[in-house]
Amino acid sequence: MKLQDFITRVADPVKLEFKGKCYDAGAASQHCSCCHRPIRQVFMLKDQSGTKFYFGSGCIDFFKKWNRPLWKKLDASRTWLHTWIQQEVKATRAARKSDSLRLSEQKYSTIKKEAAAAIREYHKKTGKEWLPEHLFVLQNLLNAPKPTLKPASRSRWLDRRAEEMRKYFSAPTLA
């Protein structure tokens, strides 16, 4: 873009100021004052009359040629914002992971209790020591050690194991 085009489209770059206001707009639709495209990382600039201009992280590079001190500030803020967004993403992911692990643990421990109760019930009702095959498999699953896994794979393992146990459980022949 030529300087004159930029001035017509936005404003005179040497007359714009950046006071450090930049943020992650997330899904909220903010449009770039320069290219008019929806932007996620928003940098707010003002001219001397206080009119606000919103720039996306790509368009701030136009200032590199026309207002280098301004560009330097924007560039540093872009790095900061980028790091901040990445940390947020990581934190959200970790929170989601631990939520899903907690749910899996709960489900697994419930089904385990139910399975153990079903086996006890069978012994009590029949007076037999030997278990029918489906309960025998269930008991083996109950007694099998839990592997040491990272949270995500652990959650998957617990879900799979709970499903498997439920399968033997719902086998109809308890009598």
Minimum CB distance to Zn ion, residue 108 (Å): 49
Residues 54-73 that bind Zn ion (CB under 5 A): 56, 59
34 near Zn ion, judged by CB under 5 A = yes
CB of 15 to Zn ion, least distance (A): 19
Cα atoms in the Cβ-side hemisphere of radius 13 Å centred on 92: 6
Q: Name the segment binding Zn ion (CB under 5 A); options: 53-61, 92-100, 132-140, 144-152.
A: 53-61
- Minimum distance, C-beta of residue 56 to Zn ion, in the bound complex (Å): 4
- Token pair 């009702």 is found at 125
* Closer by beta carbon to Zn ion, 25 or else 35: 35
Residues forming beta bridges with residue 52, ordered by sequence position? 46
C-alpha span between 138 and 134 (Å, rounded):
6
Which residues are CB-contacts of 159 (< 8 A; sequence separation ≥ 6)? 104, 107, 108
Per CB under 5 A, residues contacting Zn ion are: 32, 34-35, 56, 59
